[in-house]
Amino acid sequence: MAISGMGVSQASGLRVQPLSGCIGGVVTGVDLSAPIADDTIAALRAALLEYLVIFFEGQTPTPRKLVDFAARFAEPMAYPQLPGLPEAPFVTVVLKCEDEREAFGGVWHSDTTYLQKPPLGTLLYGVELPPRGGDTLFANQYCAFESLSPGLRKTLSGLRAVSSSAKAEVSRTREDRLRASGVEAKHFEAEHPMVRRHPETGRAALYVNRAHTLRIVDWSEDESRGLLNYLHEHQVRSEFTCRWRWSPGALAFWDNRCAQHLPVNDYHGYRRLMHRVTLQGDVPQPISG
C-alpha cells in the first residue's frame, strides 16, 4: 500500500505529511493541550486508519490531558504488567535509565497480543530523551500480508496462533521495570487468527509477532518455528517500515491492529522516559468465516 501525499482536513485544517512510502504520517495544526473539536478528532481517526501511525511534535499535554485525548478514540485500558502513574492510572511510564542495557519492549511486536482483546492502539509521548538514538521503527502489516504469495496467504488465513507474555526474549526487556516497581510478572496467553480483518477498514493484516507469538495452534513449537521465523523476517522488511526520530514533546499514536513497532536500543548511558496510554480493542476476527 503506497500512502497518499500531504492531506488536509477540510473540517479542521490539520495537515498530514507522509513519513515514508508505506506507513506513517506527521500531523501539524493540532494542539493536544487545548480543547479539540469533534471534527478534528474525526480527521485524526481517518489519518490513523490511512497512515497506521500518526506523529505529533512540540506538544505539552499533562498525563491527564494525554488520557483525555486518548479517550476520544476508545476506552483507555491498564497495561497488564505495570502500574500507572498515581495521578493518571492509565499512563504507564516507559523508562530506560542510564545504567540499564535492555530497552522496554525491545523486540519487534504488536502490543500485548497475549490478551483476549489486544489493544486497538497505543499513544507514546516523549518526556525525556537521549541526545541521540532511541528512535522507533514501525512496520505495515497490511503490506506484509499482501506481498505474500497467493498460496501462503490462503494457508495463513486458515491458521491461528498462540500468543504468550512469557516468551524469554521479550520478558527479559521488562525485568528492570518490574524490579523497580516491586511487581511480579503475570502470565497471559491467548489464541488469535494469524491474519486478522481490521474492524474499521476491512483489510487483512498479518497478525503474528516475534515478541509474543509462541506457536501455531495444533502445531508444536518445533513445527511452528520455521514458518514463524520466515514471517517474522518478512513482516519487517525495510520497504514496509518508517523510522521516527523522537524529540521532547513528540507523540506517536499507532494502530496496533495492523502495525508493529520496535524501539531502537542504541543509547546506552542515557536516560529515556516516555508516557504511554493504551486503548481497549476487540477480539481479533479472521478474514473469512
256: left (phi > 0), else alpha (psi -120 to 50), else beta? alpha
- Could you tell me if 143 and 259 are in contact, meaning their C-beta atoms sit under 8 angstroms apart? no
Residues in the chain: 289
8-state DSSP, 20: S
Instruction: Specify the residue for cell string 478474514.
Output: 287
Contacting residues for 232 by C-beta, under 8 A, at least 6 apart: 108, 208, 209, 210, 213
The C-alpha atoms of residue 268 and residue 284 are separated, in whole angstroms, by 37
Whether 212 is catalytic: no
Q: Do strands 76-77 and 15-18 pair parallel, antiparallel, or not at all (unpaired)? A: unpaired
Options 109, 197, 212, 232, the catalytic residue: 109
Whether 101 is catalytic: no
Whether 15 is catalytic: no
Options 111, 176, 197, 210, the catalytic residue: 111
Options 197, 232, 272, 276, the catalytic residue: 276
Three cell numbers, residue 179: 524490579
DSSP one-letter string for 107-144: SSB-TTTTSSS--SEEEEEEEE--SS---EEEEEHHHH
Three cell numbers, residue 198: 481490521
Options 196, 261, 272, 275, the catalytic residue: 261
- Could you tell me if 281 and 257 are in contact, meaning their C-beta atoms sit under 8 angstroms apart? yes
Q: How far is CA 225 from the centre of its chain?
A: 24
Whether 109 is catalytic: yes
- Could you tell me if 11 and 39 are in contact, meaning their C-beta atoms sit under 8 angstroms apart? yes
- Known catalytic residues are 109, 111, 261, 276
